[in-house]
């Protein structure tokens, strides 16, 4: 049986537990497993059942017997669990709490809820009993169980336990890319960041407008990666959906990291007035021959590891005619505040990223 290879899909749809059989079949098709959609229909798999399917059931009942295809399907299902809306279950409290522990932990929300392990009960159980119940609820990783128990006992890194219940979890990265010419690079960046443990979401731009869920996903993300490729400014930066994503990120104070691939920044006056601020952000210059190094720097910046990274603003290079031996502009270093307190404040107020200026030496 042949399965078409399609870009990975993240569904930031309405509440997945309430999906109908047809909505599940539609998601299966969009995820690249359209040949198996009839099986999901025949068995009447709705959203509730989808979130509870085991790998054994996917193999034996649905019929995805090929190990590689089954791994791909389980990967898509795990991503769906991480991004699903669980408001209909407990108001979203469990998902919010787990999201504060770590983006990947959010995928346990539905199985924990179905196991009748409420947040209130979590607080009243001993650490040993809580760990046992988490295991019964499908949290098979001992490390993950330990982290959840620790978060219940001591709070998450950013909040106390009580505060984390009502804090909306944020995705690490939202990918914004042009529908023409940007999907391949965006897919590569996404896959590699996920391998590095980053939670990534995006909208496939398969409609004429962004859904409310996608807009909210942008607002809740820590970073928006803006993929800019070698297209005309009029084709790229003025693409309606992409432009809307950037505007929402700017309004919400989301840190924007432009990733430029054979892209020449235009003059500021050529950009739409309400997104000109993007031209002052620092960017990752994508060099295909050095993509691993580009991804490493991008990942380290997202994680806040600035200790050995030289950052640069694309705006500082506009109009500069000097070229290095590599044929790329030699960047001017960005002067950062020396005080750690001022630096932290600066990083919160400005969307900064790194410039992968591979092939030329710092001057």
Active site members: 245
Q: List alpha helices for 196-306, DSSP H.
A: 212-220, 233-236, 240-252, 291-302
Residue 343: Cβ within 10 Å count: 13
CA Rg value for the chain: 22
DSSP symbol at 159: S
Report d(CA 299, CA 301) in Å as an integer: 5
Q: Do 314 and 290 touch, CB atoms closer than 8 A?
A: no
The residues facing 256 across adjacent strands are 224
Q: Which two tokens stand for residue 152?
A: 């219940």
Closest CA to 215 of 189, 179, 251, 185: 251
Query: Could you tell me whether strands 255-260 and 200-202 are parallel, antiparallel, or unpaired per DSSP bridges?
Result: unpaired
CB 65 within 8 A of CB 35: no
């Amino acid at each position: 049986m042949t399965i078409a290879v399609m870009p990975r899909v993240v569904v930031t749809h309405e509440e997945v537990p309430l999906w109908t059989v047809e909505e599940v079949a539609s998601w299966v098709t969009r995820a690249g497993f359209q040949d198996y959609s009839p099986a999901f229909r025949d068995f009447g798999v709705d959203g509730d059942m989808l979130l509870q399917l085991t790998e054994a059931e996917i193999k034996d009942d649905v019929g995805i017997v090929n190990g590689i295809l089954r791994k791909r399907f389980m990967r898509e299902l795990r991503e769906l669990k991480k991004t699903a809306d669980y408001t209909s279950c407990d108001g979203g409290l469990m998902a919010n709490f787990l999201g504060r522990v770590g983006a990947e932990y959010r995928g346990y929300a539905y199985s924990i809820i179905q196991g009748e392990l409420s947040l209130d009960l979590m607080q009243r159980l001993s650490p040993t009993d809580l760990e046992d119940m988490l295991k019964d609820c499908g949290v098979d990783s001992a490390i993950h169980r330990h982290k959840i128990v620790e978060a219940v006992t001591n709070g998450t890194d950013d909040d106390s336990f009580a505060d984390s219940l009502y804090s909306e979890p944020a995705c690490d990265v939202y990918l914004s890319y042009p529908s023409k010419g940007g999907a391949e690079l965006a897919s590569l960046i996404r896959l590699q960041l996920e391998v590095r443990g980053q939670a990534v979401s995006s909208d496939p731009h398969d409609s004429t407008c962004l859904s409310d869920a996608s807009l909210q996903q942008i607002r809740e993300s820590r970073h928006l990666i803006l993929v800019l490729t070698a297209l005309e400014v009029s084709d790229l930066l003025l693409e309606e959906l992409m432009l809307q994503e950037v505007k929402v990120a700017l309004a919400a104070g989301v840190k924007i990291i432009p990733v430029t691939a054979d892209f020449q920044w235009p003059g500021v006056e050529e950009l739409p007035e309400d997104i000109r601020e993007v031209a002052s952000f620092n960017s990752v210059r994508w060099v295909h021959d050095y993509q691993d190094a580009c991804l490493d720097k991008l990942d380290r910046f997202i994680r806040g590891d600035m200790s050995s990274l030289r950052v640069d603003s694309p705006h500082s290079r506009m109009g500069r005619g000097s070229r290095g031996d590599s044929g790329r502009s030699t960047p001017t270093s960005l002067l950062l505040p020396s005080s750690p307190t001022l630096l932290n404040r600066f990083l919160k107020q400005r969307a900064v990223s790194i410039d992968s200026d591979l092939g030329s030496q710092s001057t």
